[in-house]
Structure 1
Amino acid sequence: MKIKLLPVMLLGLFHFVNAQVGIGVNTANPLGAFHIDGAKDNAVPPTVAQQANDVVVTSAGDVGIGTTTVDSSAKLQINTTNKGLLIPRVMITSPNDGTTIPSPAKGLIVYNMNATTSMVEGFYTNIGTPAAPLWVTYQQYDKTIWKFENFYDSVASAPVDQAVTSGTTINNINLGLSITVTVPAFTQAKLVTTYSVPMGTTSSNNNLSGYYGIRFLKNGTELPIGSRKSTLFASSSAASPSSRMFSISATVGDTVVNNTSTPVSVTYALNGYVEPTVGSDTIRFNMWSTTDPNFNWGKGYMSVQVFTKTTL
């Protein structure tokens, strides 16, 4: 009689298990394909506090620890207010160490306990390949400290000549020197521009006098703190002509605050400026010749360094 009842009992148990949401440990009401109620304290439904000792595996294979509801965007979700995640601690010997962890996967994260001349203790990620690892550490984040973000530069490609006549001011000579900077979203940026532009007359005419220099533009509008001009003096004799070449240099600081959710662009440009008061001639900017050597002229150059910190 007992032998005849065993198949019936097993069949009933099979139907019982398949009727559940999942397999439960310490709970008669599993909330996933596999559910452990560590303290066996769940109500129906369990409170947030009761879920703190639970582990759930959903039908999609997602895992929740400290919660029975896994966010749809997470493969693993851990809920806790007084504990952390302890990842493996290893002793990496160098940035290219492929022995301590054989063939480490790209994107593998570890905590390195080994401080060497080339590495510090901290979290490291392999951004190389399993065959050629490259371990890099995370930069310390402090929202109050300026962080170097990027560097831009531009070199003049050709001389720019401008004929001038006394009484006529020209302030928009395009020197071909401009830089567009991208300021990330929700960022305050310090933008430091440095430039140096040689300029001078192209002939031995010694009666030209007046002013020449550089107008510094931000998004097409002059930013006066960055503009520089010099006086061009006439000479009393042909034996001692007026200055043939002069370099104008400047370092300019600017602040841009981007409180939007999208990056913004800022363009800085240099325009030549001439204001002759006596005589006429041709003023040359950027370089004497496209072919080196340019002797004492050099070439026009500008650069922008970008430092940022968050506005959030």
Structure 2
Amino acid sequence: MNTSNPKSTMDIVAKNSSGSSTLADGLLIPRVDRERAINMVSVQPSTLIYVNSITTGSATGQASNIDAVGFYYFDGSTNKWTKLSTDTNIYNTDGVLTSNRVMGLGNNSLIFRNGVEASLYFERSGTGNLQSGQNVANLYTSGYVGNTNKILSGIRTYYQGDGTNSNSSMKLTVNGNINNNVVLAANNNVGIGTETPSEKLDVEGNARIRTLVDIEGTNQIPRFTRRVMSDANGVLGYEPNISKSTYGLDNIYENAMSNQISTTITNGNVPLNLSNTIVVPANTEALIVIDYNIPILKKGGYVAYMGITLKKSTNGGADVELEQGSRKYTTPSYSDNSAPAQGFPIVGKAVDHITNNTSSPITIVYKPLGYVEDNITTVYFGMWTNSGTGANFNWGRGSMTVTSYLKSLQ
């Protein structure tokens, strides 16, 4: 039409194919309502109509697809009117992939967003019941390694039920390994390195816990009253209220003299610059064991009375003698004073029992002091020489050790 040289069975050329003419050009397809489309008989495939109203008739029979105004063609394979153009996509229509597909994100992100609560489902198709141990779904990450696309990590889900429940397990793998790095079992136990965790946390291998509470430094010994123990299989348990019934080792403090101390005083105590400080937490009972070994030497064969006085002070108060730990001796005299020197070690020990039933810690300082009485010569404490490389002969160095044991009063 409008052409003497048709290019197909029917070739319709517009009267005005360009320009500013206001005349309408086009092809008018028969216009019918839905009821008319239902009632047509012997419709030939590819017949084209324009449904201009769906207020009549119903979406049944050969008009079951007519649910909106628009163009429809008759599909001979279904014997139904079908939309000429259907807006079918994953947002409004379910479907099935007919083969593998790849979606490239480029440098963009894919976000699943819901105004209330977003859900993403991996649903197994079909209606056949799952069998226990059956793999349900896998989610993998992969990348090219050595020119080969390899799996790097993955999450796999397995059905673990008996056909009447939804019991399942999840396995997390890394390093491209199909072994079970982390398993969340159907019994809600978590396994690391094991597929069948028997406890809430089951670790196959060594475990480490970082940044634990410093119970001494934060004065929380009374709070931590349970001792963690293990059975032959490595299952952990605890012994309750261990600190209320027995003492537990708190710490061992050691100190040694760094310099020789000498004195020519006649009577009194001689500071040795040797001490150890202990803190007894609030509401705690302490058993303190003090040990010391300090060499002493005096010149000349004169009789002398000398040794060590053990002192302690509490919360910065005055020094008080801990008599249990003091050691003093009388040295023999020689009538001709022929002995150039006399020396021996002073070894002492004391046990101090402290009950702190207050809400504040107690600080105690233990220190041994040299002691001389009726002295007329020079007395040396601690070591033979101050030199770091010089020989101390058989003297050694003066030292003390304090061991503290604690138990809670709460």
**One fold, TM greater than 0.5?**
yes
Distance in structure 1 (CA, Å) of the matches to 2:342 and 2:329: 13
Equivalent residue for 2:328, pick from 220, 224, 229? 229
Deviation at 1:94, TM superposition (A): 3.5
TM-score, length of structure 1 as denominator length: 0.55
AA aligned to 2:283 is F
Equivalent residue for 1:299, pick from 386, 394, 397? 397
Match in the other structure for 2:256: 155
Matched, 1:215 2:312: no
Match in the other structure for 1:23: none
Distance in structure 2 (CA, Å) of the matches to 1:258 and 1:113: 32
Distance in structure 1 (CA, Å) of the matches to 2:292 and 2:329: 15
The structure-2 alpha-carbon separation of the partners of 1:248 and 1:92, relative to structure 1 and needing over 3 Å to count, comes to: same
Structure 2: tracts of 5 or more residues without a match: 1-187, 191-198, 213-227, 314-318
AA aligned to 2:254 is D
Query: CA offsets per residue over residues 45-102 of structure 1, 9 Å max, x none?
Result: xxxxxxxxxxxxxxxxxxxxxxxxxxxxxxxxxxxxxxxxx975144344348xxxxx
Distance in structure 2 (CA, Å) of the matches to 1:113 and 1:160: 50
Deviation at 1:210, TM superposition (A): 2.0
Q: How many aligned residue pairs are there?
A: 191
Higher relative contact order (CA 8 A, sep 6+): 1
Deviation at 1:150, TM superposition (A): 1.3
Match in the other structure for 2:206: 95
Match in the other structure for 1:261: 359
The structure-2 alpha-carbon separation of the partners of 1:162 and 1:113, relative to structure 1 and needing over 3 Å to count, comes to: closer
Query: CA offsets per residue over residues 157-213 of structure 1, 9 Å max, x none?
Result: 10111014xxx3222x10001111000110000000000110112x4x22x212000
Show structure 1 runs of 4+ deviating over 3 A.
104-107, 111-116, 138-141, 236-239
CA contact (8 A) 2:229 2:239 kept: no
Deviation at 1:260, TM superposition (A): 1.3
Distance in structure 2 (CA, Å) of the matches to 1:105 and 1:238: 66
Q: How does 1:31-110 map to 2 (within 5 A)?
A: 89=199, 90-96=201-207
AA aligned to 1:121 is V
The structure-2 alpha-carbon separation of the partners of 1:105 and 1:290, relative to structure 1 and needing over 3 Å to count, comes to: closer
Matched, 1:282 2:378: yes
CA contact (8 A) 1:233 1:243 kept: no
Distance in structure 2 (CA, Å) of the matches to 1:223 and 1:263: 21
CA contact (8 A) 2:189 2:202 kept: no
Distance in structure 1 (CA, Å) of the matches to 2:230 and 2:370: 57
Structure 1: tracts of 5 or more residues without a match: 1-85, 98-103, 124-137
Match in the other structure for 1:12: none
Match in the other structure for 1:272: 370
Match in the other structure for 2:110: none
Q: Please, what is the CA RMSD of the aligned residues? A: 2.9
TM-score, length of structure 2 as denominator length: 0.43
The structure-2 alpha-carbon separation of the partners of 1:113 and 1:283, relative to structure 1 and needing over 3 Å to count, comes to: closer
The structure-2 alpha-carbon separation of the partners of 1:290 and 1:112, relative to structure 1 and needing over 3 Å to count, comes to: closer
Query: CA offsets per residue over residues 32-57 of structure 1, 9 Å max, x none?
Result: xxxxxxxxxxxxxxxxxxxxxxxxxx
Deviation at 1:106, TM superposition (A): 7.8
Match in the other structure for 2:347: 249
Q: How does 1:182-221 map to 2 (within 5 A)?
A: 182-201=279-298, 203=299, 205-206=300-301, 208-219=302-313, 220-221=319-320
Distance in structure 2 (CA, Å) of the matches to 1:106 and 1:231: 54
* Bigger Cα Rg: 2
Deviation at 1:105, TM superposition (A): 9.2
CA contact (8 A) 1:189 1:308 kept: yes
AA aligned to 1:287 is M
The structure-2 alpha-carbon separation of the partners of 1:192 and 1:92, relative to structure 1 and needing over 3 Å to count, comes to: same
The share of aligned pairs that are identical, in percent, is: 30
